[in-house]
Amino acid sequence: MLYLVMSTAHEFQAFVHAPGAKACVPSYCIELPICWSPPPDGCLKWNLDGSIRNSLGATASGGVLRNTTGQWLLGIARKVGCALVIVAELWAFKDATSLSILRGDSWVCFESDSSITVKFIQHGVDPSHPFFGLVSSILNDIGKFQMSMLIMSIKKEIW
């Protein structure tokens, strides 16, 4: 089930933009550079990600839709369950493409730090591939778009 996470995203945005923002890990705090690059003028941008909790194998996906000024428009989150992290990354794309279609967005950029996910979406996968169903569903959504789109991979920030 797809959850809209407006209040949580607003809280996170307020935290990130607070003077001297720090990322806290249970035993220590470190300062992190927060880098976000805006999409071209008139374009909306989805920042998508998947995550895994190794001790449990639990995965989740999420994303944030922003405009060219960085204004938060919409957030998504999904509990994927016990799966590989790439499945969570693919679900982030699936949910974002579906919502952009429903919203009637006219120009959208999708950004992910998973280069393999971007490759699957840009080139598709063989029908015998275990992720064929999900990738095909994303590609089917993309085929319904009445808009311009850009799919990009970015480098992960390691801290």
Would the pLDDT of 82 be above 50? yes
Read off the tokens for 40: 């071209």
Which helix (H) or strand (E) segment is 122 a member of? Answer: helix 115-123
Say yes or no to pLDDT of 57 above 90. no
- pLDDT given for residue 106 in this prediction: 84
- 87: phi then psi, degrees, rounded to nearest 5: -65, -40
User: CA-CA distance, 5 to 112, in Å (whole number)?
Assistant: 19
Residue with the larger pLDDT of the pair 74 and 12: 74
CB 73 within 8 A of CB 3: no
Band the pLDDT of 53: cuts 50, 70, 90.
confident
The residue among 121 and 23 whose pLDDT is bigger is 121
**Distances from the Cα of 15 to the Cα of 38, 86, 108, angstroms:** 19, 28, 26
**For the chain, what is the mean pLDDT?**
80
What is the pTM assigned to this prediction?
0.74
Nearest to 151 by CA among 121, 124, 131: 121
pLDDT at position 91? 97
Distance CA 141, CA 151 (A): 14
Q: Give the per-residue pLDDT at 80.
A: 95
Which of 18-22, 55-59, 71-75 has maximum average pLDDT?
71-75
pLDDT at residue number 7: 39
Which tokens sit at 8?
């949580």
